[in-house]
């Protein structure tokens, strides 16, 4: 073999070694593992940064750490000094500057052993590249440990200076309470071999991960599990419980009440809603001893719902394909028009809800929960509106994909027409019924109408089910089928959101003056009114930009979408001003 042959060096030495190597598991490199930052699934990135500064071992202490509740304990605490750290002994090929810096750091650490690792020493500030990063907030309190960790995570692999300070009560001021160390930010893998430093002990990268069916299953530090430890769930549907076709309970309260999966009292009667913080839920959860004795009582969770008896999958929508591609195009045009009219109805209703930040003191005295309920209702309604906007876009995108696949057919779309009628549930005989399109405030009657429109397996679901069944055919583009399925999946939550809003607002009765506490009594504006006319002009401009953005292939889409968003913001500002200042609603139709 010639001397000029390419030199091939095996970079993952830990996977090729014929002996155990401390550090990398043999089946993965750091860049190949599922290692989210907090805390990860295969390893915890934070454990690398515990040793970001050679010779020091650091713990990042957060405010929710039960063992360190004092704010003065937050931050990056020095827990050990390790003079045997290989990072303090530069390789032979290192330059003189690096060797001198390492020797100086080693001496400083040797002099500090027994001091900074035995008291309450924390990193006070970090200096790198001429920039000082103070690890305190604007009030002077120490930053939370997770924030400090994120700062450390962002340091360059270069020289760095740490200012350490003793926070123990006896050393709040005076000589000896601070120490400056000059070093460098450790590289976590050798640039040639890919091996992590031997200073990391076996198991150190995984020491903070959650261990299923052990105590860590009870006290997962981050309140996040990818699959095997849910935080909140929906209650189980028993075999005799009425359910909707989407698998949720027919009772809106049970269908939308989140439960703490680790609750100690598993009885159905005690299934109260989960609290909104870890600490609030903690008193009602299984304890350490209980988790080892009763883990088998924790329910399997499928589709966000606990399963203890027999799993009942969602009833599949049985739909026959449409007879032709032309019929499919007609169906999609009708659905796009329906999505558009629902957007306008929902928007008008949204603008009829009072601004929670502008309630009077008398309002808050008479209805203490009104502000929170308004925030919730507005947010839920807004999410539904945004979802319907996506559906309008996707329906038009399916149209242009079909035009690309069948160029011989007459072009349909972009479709921004407005349907004249809206599905309105079923009559007593079970037959579908409709109502004329209407712009109404969000009173109880309107809300019931919206729930009827979005009812699972209603006419909208059924129409899209036919679209999906048709697009499964071999001649149709897969992208169109995927979009149709997205619409069906995305629309399943609309019913739940509206029933949630109904539950929150149903106890607000009409006051003595005939007003509903949460409503602005809107009246439909006159198109000739100058301010109303300005709002309608913005709406017309919005449709022009959307028509261009939704055209075949989305030609010029980014610019048109940006313009549409700008005009939408102008329309919303005008609609809110008309509603709040004059009690006038935009007459979209």
Contacts for 156 with CB less than 8 Å, ≥ 6 apart: 128, 129, 185
Phi, psi of 124 (to 5 degrees): -90, -40
Confidence of residue 280 (pLDDT cuts 50, 70, 90): confident
Average pLDDT, integer, range 467-488: 88
Residue 360 clears pLDDT 60, i.e. is over it: yes
Question: Where do the DSSP E strands lie in 82-191?
Answer: 121-128, 131-134, 159-166, 178-184
More confident residue, 33 or 407: 407
For the chain, list the domains and their CATH numbers.
13-206 (no CATH), 215-307 (no CATH), 325-520 (1.20.1260.10), 522-589 (no CATH)
- What span, in angstroms and rounded, lies between the C-alpha atoms of 355 and 495? 24
- What span, in angstroms and rounded, lies between the C-alpha atoms of 298 and 217? 11
Residue 18 clears pLDDT 60, i.e. is over it: no
% of the chain residues with pLDDT over 70: 79
CB 228 within 8 A of CB 268: no
pLDDT of residue 266: 86
**Bridge partners, residue 436, by sequence:** 421
Which single residue is written with the structure tokens 């001397």? 3
pLDDT per residue over 528-537, tens digit each?
999 999 999 9
38-42, 367-371, 521-525: segment of lowest average pLDDT: 38-42
Distances (CA, A) of 291 to 222, 227, 294, 409: 18, 18, 5, 64
- What span, in angstroms and rounded, lies between the C-alpha atoms of 472 and 296? 42
pLDDT of residue 211: 57
Average pLDDT, integer, range 435-456: 90
Rounded to the nearest integer, the mean pLDDT of the chain is 82
CB 91 within 8 A of CB 132: no
Average pLDDT, integer, range 187-197: 77
Residue 361 clears pLDDT 80, i.e. is over it: yes
> DSSP assignment of 205-248, as one string?
GGTTS--TTSHHHH--TTS--SSSS-SEEEPP--TTS-B-TTSS
**Backbone CA torsion sign across 63, 69, 70, 73:** negative
Contacts for 459 with CB less than 8 Å, ≥ 6 apart: 423, 432
Confidence of residue 51 (pLDDT cuts 50, 70, 90): very high
More confident residue, 457 or 121: 121
pLDDT of residue 56: 95
- What are the residue ranges of helices labelled H in 444-477? 444-453, 459-471
pLDDT per residue over 306-324, tens digit each?
887 777 665 545 578 899 9
74-78, 99-103, 293-297: segment of lowest average pLDDT: 293-297
pLDDT per residue over 282-309, tens digit each?
889 888 778 778 878 888 887 778 887 7
- What span, in angstroms and rounded, lies between the C-alpha atoms of 73 and 63? 8
pLDDT of residue 133: 94
Residue 26 clears pLDDT 50, i.e. is over it: no
- What span, in angstroms and rounded, lies between the C-alpha atoms of 202 and 216? 19
32-41, 120-129, 322-331, 559-568: segment of lowest average pLDDT: 32-41
Contacts for 557 with CB less than 8 Å, ≥ 6 apart: 548, 549
Confidence of residue 173 (pLDDT cuts 50, 70, 90): very low
18-32, 86-100, 172-186, 322-336: segment of lowest average pLDDT: 18-32
What DSSP state is assigned to residue 303?
T
Give the residue among 81, 28, 20, 23 at the shortest CA–CA distance from 51: 81
pLDDT of residue 175: 44
- What span, in angstroms and rounded, lies between the C-alpha atoms of 453 and 466? 17
Which single residue is written with the structure tokens 């996040």? 224
pTM over 0.85: no
Return the top range by mean pLDDT from 210-224, 350-364, 540-554: 350-364
- What span, in angstroms and rounded, lies between the C-alpha atoms of 193 and 503? 61
Q: Give, to the nearest 10 degrees, the angle between helix 325-351 and helix 557-577.
A: 40
pLDDT per residue over 134-155, tens digit each?
999 888 889 999 899 999 999 9
pLDDT of residue 438: 94
Phi, psi of 219 (to 5 degrees): -125, 55
């Amino acid at each position: 073999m010639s001397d000029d042959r390419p030199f091939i060096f095996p970079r993952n030495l830990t996977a090729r070694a014929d002996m155990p190597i401390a550090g990398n598991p043999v089946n993965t490199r750091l860049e190949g593992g599922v290692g989210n930052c907090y805390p990860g699934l295969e390893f915890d990135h934070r454990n690398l940064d515990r040793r970001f500064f050679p010779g020091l071992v650091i713990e990042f202490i957060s405010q929710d750490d039960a063992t360190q509740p004092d704010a003065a304990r937050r931050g990056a605490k020095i827990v050990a000094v390790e003079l045997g750290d290989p990072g303090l002994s530069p390789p032979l090929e290192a330059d003189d500057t690096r060797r001198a810096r390492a020797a100086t750091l080693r001496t400083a650490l040797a002099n500090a052993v027994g001091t900074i690792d035995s008291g309450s020493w924390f990193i006070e500030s970090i200096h790198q590249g001429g920039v000082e990063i103070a690890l305190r907030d604007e009030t002077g309190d120490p930053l939370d440990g997770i924030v400090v960790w994120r700062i450390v995570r962002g340091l360059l692999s270069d020289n760095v200076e740490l200012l350490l300070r003793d926070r123990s009560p006896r050393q709040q001021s005076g000589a000896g309470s601070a120490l400056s160390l000059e070093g460098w930010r450790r590289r976590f893998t050798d640039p040639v071999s890919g091996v992590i430093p031997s200073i990391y002990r076996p198991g150190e990268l995984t020491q903070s991960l959650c261990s299923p069916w052990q105590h860590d299953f009870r006290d997962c530090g981050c309140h996040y599990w990818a699959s095997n430890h849910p935080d909140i769930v929906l209650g189980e549907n028993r075999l005799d419980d009425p359910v909707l076709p989407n698998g949720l309970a027919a009772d809106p309260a049970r269908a939308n009440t989140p439960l703490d999966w680790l609750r100690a009292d598993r009885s159905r009667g005690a299934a109260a809603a989960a609290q909104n913080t870890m600490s609030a839920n903690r008193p009602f959860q299984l304890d350490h001893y209980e988790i080892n004795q009763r883990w088998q009582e924790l329910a399997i969770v499928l589709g966000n719902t606990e399963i203890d008896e027999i799993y009942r999958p969602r009833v599949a929508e049985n739909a026959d394909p449409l007879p032709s591609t032309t019929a499919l195009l007609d169906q999609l045009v009708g659905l796009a028009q329906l999505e558009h009219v629902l957007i306008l109805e929902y928007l008008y209703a949204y603008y009829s809800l009072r601004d929670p930040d502008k309630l009077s003191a008398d309002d808050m005295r008479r209805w203490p929960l009104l502000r929170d309920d308004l925030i919730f209702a507005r947010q839920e309604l807004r999410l539904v509106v945004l979802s319907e906007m996506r559906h309008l876009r996707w329906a038009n995108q399916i149209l242009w994909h079909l035009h690309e696949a069948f160029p011989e057919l007459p072009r349909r779309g972009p479709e921004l027409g407005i349907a004249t009628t809206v599905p309105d549930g079923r009559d007593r005989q079970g037959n579908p019924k409709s109502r004329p399109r209407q712009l109404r405030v969000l009173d109880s009657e309107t809300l019931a109408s919206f729930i009827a429109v979005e009812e699972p397996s209603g006419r909208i679901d059924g129409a899209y089910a036919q679209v999906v069944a048709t697009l499964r055919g071999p001649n149709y583009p897969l992208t169109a089928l995927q979009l149709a399925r997205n619409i069906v999946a995305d629309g399943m939550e609309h019913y739940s959101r509206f029933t949630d809003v109904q539950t929150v607002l149903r106890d607000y009765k009409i006051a003595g003056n005939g007003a509903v506490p949460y409503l602005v009594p809107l009246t439909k504006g006159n198109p000739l009114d100058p301010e109303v006319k300005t709002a309608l002009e913005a709406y017309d401009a919005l449709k022009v930009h959307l028509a261009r953005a939704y055209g075949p292939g989305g030609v010029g889409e980014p610019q048109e979408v940006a313009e549409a968003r700008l005009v939408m913001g102008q329309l919303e500002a005008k609609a809110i001003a008309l509603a709040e200042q004059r009690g006038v609603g935009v007459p979209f139709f």
